[in-house]
Structure 1
Amino acid sequence: MAKIRKQEQGHRYAEQMLCSFGAAPRRPGQDPRCWLEEALAAAQVRAVRHLGNHRFAWTIGPRRLRSRITIAVTGLAAR
């Protein structure tokens, strides 16, 4: 979405994807923000938030104790 709003690299592909779902192509000079709002409605799609692609954890403390520390995170199973 931000890619289209800000006209960043890859915005043309994202716009083509929305058009393939039924959105009208963006007219020359049309504000990308306005077009995106119309395109999402026309394509009958919605934004889905996700938690990100990567998760990292680092242990802290003295090196000799780090190997004894167990790190467990529940509720973040990969899908």
Structure 2
Amino acid sequence: MRLSGWTSTSQDEARALGISGVPFFVIDRTYGLSGAQPAEAMPEVLRQAWSHAHPLQMVSGGDGDTCGPNGCVT
């Protein structure tokens, strides 16, 4: 796709998402970050997007050894 076509498509997508200003970042088509933000905002939204896309999956039933403040139980 030529650059002019890509730009036009991007502008159409932005309008469809209700984006009207720059800067605006869309992460995983789920999270949006607009305008000037504190430095910690981008890493936080990236962590949220990652956690949402990669939920914790338990691979064990939890019947194995466990350790607590008083030692381990086997």
TM-score, shorter chain, exceeding 0.5: no
More strand as a share of residues: 2
Instruction: Provide TM-score, normalisation by structure 2.
Output: 0.28
- Higher RCO structure, 1 or 2 (CA under 8 Å, sep 6+): 1
Could you state the TM-score of these two structures normalised by the residue count of structure 1? 0.27
